[in-house]
């Protein structure tokens, strides 16, 4: 990490960034390499990510979200004036969820040049 930016090239570094968001929801993240996840992803449980996540054209693959409940996504809650860009996500989100979003449940920021590859069954119910 340099300043308020995490430079990430491994799954462990991505998890460290996600953990650090509990204390600072505006931490930036820059991917330096493609990342293949080896464990099920626990969505980042924040209600207002306000940083910049720059994938730099890299891919996060094998993103498996197995949680049941009202939300499903990489940033779980709300992008609040955040920027997510230049990222490809390969996701499997099995289960039944009320709100499904690969990047976020609610976008109040900017998502640009992001690509999605869906594997498995994704379903949602609106209540």
Measured CA to CA, the distance from residue 104 to residue 74 in angstroms comes to 6
Q: What is the pTM of this model?
A: 0.85
Mean pLDDT of 42-57: 85
Q: Could you tell me the residue range of the domain that residue 84 belongs to?
A: 5-124
Phi first, then psi, for residue 18 (nearest 5°) are -60, -40
pLDDT at 39 over 80: yes
Q: What CA–CA distance (Å, rounded) separates 62 from 70?
A: 22
pLDDT(79) > 80: yes
Measure the CA dihedral 113/120/96/116, to 10°. Answer: 0
With tokens 């994938």, the residue in question is 55
Q: How confident is the model at residue 119 (pLDDT cuts 50, 70, 90)?
A: confident
Mean of pLDDT values over 53-73 = 79
The whole-number pLDDT of residue 28 equals 96
Q: How many structural domains are present in the chain? A: 1
Judged against a pLDDT cut of 90, whether residue 117 lies above it is answered with no
Query: How many residues comprise the chain?
Result: 127
Mean pLDDT in residue range 43-56: 85
Adjacent-strand bridge partners of 16: none
């Amino acid at each position: 990490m340099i300043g308020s930016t995490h430079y990430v090239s491994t799954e462990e570094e991505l998890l460290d960034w996600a953990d650090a968001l509990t204390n600072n929801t505006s931490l930036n993240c820059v991917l330096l390499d493609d990342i293949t996840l080896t464990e099920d992803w626990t969505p980042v449980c924040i209600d207002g990510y306000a940083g910049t996540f720059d994938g730099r054209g890299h891919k996060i693959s094998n993103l498996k979200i197995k949680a049941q409940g009202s939300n499903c996504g990489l940033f779980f809650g709300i992008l609040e004036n955040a920027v997510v860009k230049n990222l490809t996500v390969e996701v499997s989100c099995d289960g039944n969820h009320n709100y499904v979003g690969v990047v976020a449940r609610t976008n109040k920021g900017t998502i640009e040049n992001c690509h999605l590859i869906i594997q498995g069954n994704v379903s949602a119910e609106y209540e």
